[in-house]
Chain A
Amino acid sequence: MLGKIKKFFMNFIGGPKQNFRLGLYGPPNSGKTTLANKICLDWIGEEMGKVSPISHETREIGIKENVIIKGKNGKELTFNLVDTPGIATKIDYEDFMKTGMSAAQAKKRAREATKGVIESIKWLDEVDTVMVVLDGTQDPYSQVNVTIIGNLQARNIPVLIVANKADLRKCKVKKVQSAFPQYEVLGISAKYGKNIDKLYEKLFELARQ
């Protein structure tokens, strides 16, 4: 109730909310931690987490508090950035073994990855605003994407969808947009910083919702 009253007044005043939890959600290997690192490097000067081409590199919730970004008009936006493990419906340790890991390492990674997915789902109730990071080169109609976005919608959490890996020719931002016509989709490359300034401006808009 208090949240709704606060939201009403914030909308009335017209300023973006501050000190909110901005979650990064998406399937594994979509570039959530790469984007978190880019944001943190740009505004704090340090990275947030390790990235890897092997899926489920992020297996625990990562939080970077008091990230302050500045808009073109000089206004500031303060938030706590929450990087979540990728959400998946299946985890097979044998897939990790194909990357050269030992059976023990692969089993450990799989065990931690399942816990990470559970934590990500639990955290849906803890975040205030979310950027859904999708791999623009992959099929956007995957049920994991639909379930994540549907759950955020059901919780009335403001969402920005980013189609990451826009530096690659295979990235189809329009296809992602047609899969989720009710949301604005921004094509970015977290790795090379393409459209990252637009993303920061969008964050101000998102914080007003």
Chain B
Amino acid sequence: MVTIQFVPYTEIEGLSGLGKIRKLLNIVKMNKIVLLQGRLKKEEEAELIKTTMEEIDKKFKGIELAVINPSQTAKDGLQKFKYSMLNTFFGDTQGLTVIGPSNIVKSIKKDPNKIELLTKEARKR
């Protein structure tokens, strides 16, 4: 069974960069897939990878990560303008971030308008 936990942006909004990463990784390490409303800052994404590497051990093998940013899929100038305005007012709440433990999520394919999540059965311990 795969558990998906939705995390609204309001839950991480007031946290520091490290606080956000800690919260998200704690959920992932409980073998749950995180669906985060919005996205992390680019520096926070790099920090998430770094922290993940620091915590890899016998049980935790890492994460699969994908971010959908609507402003990157805008087709014309009007859409781009609309999303840049939305970004100005709502910042990182735009888009969707998927983070899953790599022992459950085999891979995430982004195309870039759709996300395909390939899962595998969690290993028995």
- A residues in contact (CB < 8 Å) with B: 87-92, 110, 114-115, 117-118, 121-122, 124, 139, 141-144, 146-147, 150-151, 153-154, 179
Taking A122-B50, A139-B109, A143-B45 as given, write out 18 further A-B residue pairs in contact, using a Cβ cutoff of 8 Å, ordered by the A residue number: A88-B49, A89-B63, A89-B64, A90-B52, A91-B53, A92-B62, A114-B53, A117-B49, A117-B50, A121-B47, A142-B110, A144-B49, A146-B67, A147-B42, A147-B46, A147-B65, A154-B43, A179-B112
When distances are taken between beta carbons in the complex, the residues of chain A under 8 Å from B62 are 88-92
- B residues in contact (CB < 8 Å) with A: 41-43, 45-47, 49-50, 52-54, 56, 61-67, 102, 108-112
18 A-B contact pairs sorted by A residue (CB < 8 Å)? A88-B62, A89-B102, A90-B52, A90-B56, A92-B102, A110-B56, A114-B53, A114-B56, A117-B49, A118-B50, A121-B49, A142-B110, A143-B45, A143-B65, A143-B66, A144-B49, A151-B43, A154-B42
When distances are taken between beta carbons in the complex, the residues of chain B under 8 Å from A90 are 52, 56, 61-64, 102
- Pairs A-B, 7 closest by C-beta atoms: A90-B62, A90-B102, A150-B42, A114-B53, A92-B61, A141-B110, A147-B45
Check A91–B42 contact: CB distance below 8 A. Answer: no
CB distance from A153 to the nearest CB of B (A): 7
Q: How far, in whole Å, are A121 and B50 apart by their CA atoms in the complex?
A: 7
Q: How far, in whole Å, are A153 and B43 apart by their CA atoms in the complex?
A: 10
Q: How far, in whole Å, are A110 and B54 apart by their CA atoms in the complex?
A: 12
When distances are taken between beta carbons in the complex, the residues of chain A under 8 Å from B54 are 114, 118
When distances are taken between beta carbons in the complex, the residues of chain A under 8 Å from B66 are 143
Q: How far, in whole Å, are A90 and B62 apart by their CA atoms in the complex?
A: 4
Q: How far, in whole Å, are A150 and B43 apart by their CA atoms in the complex?
A: 8
Check B63–A151 contact: CB distance below 8 A. Answer: no
When distances are taken between beta carbons in the complex, the residues of chain B under 8 Å from A141 are 109-112
CB distance from A5 to the nearest CB of B (A): 25
Select the residue from A87, A89, A115, A150 with max chain B CB neighbours within 10 A: A89
Select the residue from A115, A124, A147, A154 with max chain B CB neighbours within 10 A: A147
When distances are taken between beta carbons in the complex, the residues of chain B under 8 Å from A146 are 67
Check A143–B42 contact: CB distance below 8 A. Answer: no
Contact of B42 among A117, A151, A179 (CB under 8 A): A151
CB distance from A179 to the nearest CB of B (A): 7
When distances are taken between beta carbons in the complex, the residues of chain B under 8 Å from A179 are 112
